[in-house]
């Protein structure tokens, strides 16, 4: 199964594609979609949607997962992040994908083992779990961590379903 993980952001949205075969994960691709702060908001959101839609199509993703938004003290920044996240969810949904959503602490715990992990710890563990990966940047690493989390959750759900009907 080909999974895409998404780390939404208005300035930079990270994406990471992995292949999951049972418990075996392998890196397919990763990158970052950047928008210019000088552009009008609607244009930035359209650019984000179109670029992400193309990434999903190119890599033939079968399932998607996105990181949930954490609020911060700047309401304007939180609103813009929420708008970018909405576009990310829209692009995945319009591509026909079911979208899992994970709180950042769940992603950190799934990949690093602790919900309070730092970005550099996530990057290091992504490189361990996906040997040979060349990270396009920290947002791409976060997106790959989201994809890994989604793969683990899907595998657990399949296992539980098999046991229930065995």
In the prediction, which pLDDT does 54 show?
97
Tokens of 101: 């959503």
Q: How much of the chain exceeds pLDDT 90, in percent? A: 80
pLDDT-derived band at 41, boundaries 50, 70, 90: very high
Tell me whether residue 50 is one of the annotated catalytic residues.
no
For residue 29 the two structure tokens come to 């691709």
Q: Of 21, 36, 62, 67, which is the active-site residue?
A: 67
Query: What is the torsion angle, in degrees rounded to the nearest 10, for the CA atoms of residue 129, residue 131, residue 132 and residue 138?
Result: 10
| 56 contacts: CB under 8 Å, gap ≥ 6 | 4, 64, 91, 92, 95, 97
Q: Which of 25-34, 82-91, 139-148, 154-163 has the lowest mean pLDDT?
A: 154-163
Residue 7 is assigned to a ligand binding site: yes
Task: For residue 127, count CB atoms less than 10 angstroms from its CB and return exposed for 0-12, middle for 13-18, buried for 19 or more.
Answer: middle
| 67 tagged catalytic | yes
68 is catalytic: no
Nearest alpha carbon to residue 88 among 142, 39, 155? 142
Query: Rounded distance, CA 127 to CA 26, Å?
Result: 11
139 annotated as ligand-binding: yes
How large is the C-alpha radius of gyration of the chain?
A: 16
Domains and CATH numbers, the chain: 2-164 (3.30.420.10)
Which of 62, 118, 139, 142 is an active site residue? Answer: 139
67 annotated ligand binder: yes
What per-residue confidence (pLDDT) applies to 74?
83
- pLDDT band for 165, please (50, 70, 90 cuts): low
């Amino acid at each position: 199964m080909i999974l895409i993980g998404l780390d939404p952001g208005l300035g930079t949205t990270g994406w990471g594609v992995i292949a999951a075969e049972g418990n075996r994960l392998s890196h397919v691709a990763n990158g970052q979609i950047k928008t210019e702060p000088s552009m009008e908001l609607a244009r930035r959101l359209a650019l984000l949607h179109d670029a992400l839609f193309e990434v999903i199509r190119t890599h033939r993703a079968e399932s998607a997962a996105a990181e949930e938004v954490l609020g911060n003290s700047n309401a304007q920044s939180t609103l813009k992040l929420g708008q970018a996240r909405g576009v990310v969810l829209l692009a995945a949904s319009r591509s026909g994908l079911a979208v899992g959503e994970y709180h950042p602490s769940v992603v950190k715990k799934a990949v690093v083992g602790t919900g309070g992990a730092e970005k550099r710890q996530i990057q290091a563990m992504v490189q361990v779990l996906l040997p040979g990966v060349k990270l396009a940047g920290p947002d791409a690493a976060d997106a790959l961590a989201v994809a890994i989390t989604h793969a683990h959750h899907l595998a657990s759900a399949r296992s539980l379903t098999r046991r229930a009907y065995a």
